[in-house]
Structure 1
Amino acid sequence: MIKNLYFKFLLTVLLSLFSCTETGDIIDNGYQNNAQENYTSPYMGKWVGTYSGNAIDGTLILNVSKSGSIEVKRGGNGTMDEVYYTSLQGSGGALNPAPSPKGFILYGSLHTKSGTWNFQHWSGSWSVAKQ
């Protein structure tokens, strides 16, 4: 009888621990989802500048969304050659160095408003200012 009572007590304690963990996870996930929905990137807005380097140069337009995703427009010789999408990494405004479909890659930060770029066998620097 005591063994049976001890077993029921132990089972009740274990089940309550598991149910608390699941409830805590649900609350934590709800809080995280709410925080993501309310987040506004401090870099949100339009950034305009230039890139230059080994034999090529042009214009950059970075449109940063509320969530920190970035639409990159790259142009040269008066035309916009390419539009692609990337994002910010962390809170320091670092650009995710994701290559465009053509292979153009921006490295750097919106905090410093500058960085470097690579494209095929060319490279150089870029800078932008918030509009």
Structure 2
Amino acid sequence: MIKQCEYLALVLLLGFTSCSHIIDEIDRDREEENYTTPYMGKWQGSYTGDENGTLTMNVGKSGSVEVIRTSGSFQETFYTSLAGGGSGAISSNSGSSSGFVIYGSLESKSGTWVKGNLKGSWSVVKN
């Protein structure tokens, strides 16, 4: 009888642990759904260096970023996202079809860019 009670207690304990884990996971999912990055909004500025042009970054609620790069009559749109940690860090390693890659932070409102052998810096301000 004692062995059966110990077994039942173990099964109940494991059941409560599993339920607790599921509840924690649901709470984390809700927090992510309700999260709004402090960098949400439209950011505009320019990039300079081996090429020059304008940058527009539209940051979504969850940190998704649409980047619009314009140089003369050329315009390119690509997508990336903010890195975690609250710094507004951007690294668009897989972003544009032309190979234009940006690195930096919306906290500092600036960074660097590369495109093949070309490179430079960028800066933006929030509208």
TM-score class, shorter: over 0.9
Q: Structure 2: which 5+ residue stretches go unaligned? A: none
Q: Structure 1: which 5+ residue stretches go unaligned? A: none
Relative to the length of structure 2, the TM-score reads 0.92
Cα distance in 2, alignment partners of residues 101 and 10 from structure 1: 62
Q: Percent identity?
A: 46
- Map 1:36-51 onto structure 2 (within 5 A): 36-51=32-47
Alpha-carbon RMSD across the aligned residues, in angstroms, is 1.2
Give the aligned partner of residue 3 of structure 2.
7
Cα distance in 2, alignment partners of residues 129 and 48 from structure 1: 6
Q: How far apart are residue 11 of structure 1 and its match?
A: 1.1
SS at match of 1:92: coil
Cα distance in 2, alignment partners of residues 102 and 6 from structure 1: 71
Rate the CA distance shift 1:26–1:94 in 2: closer, same or farther, 3 A.
same
How many residue pairs match? The answer is: 125
Q: Does 1:103 align with 2:99?
A: yes
Could you tell me which of 22, 31, 49 is aligned with 2:18?
22
Could you tell me which of 69, 82, 96 is aligned with 1:88?
82
Large movers: runs of 4+ above 3 Å:
none
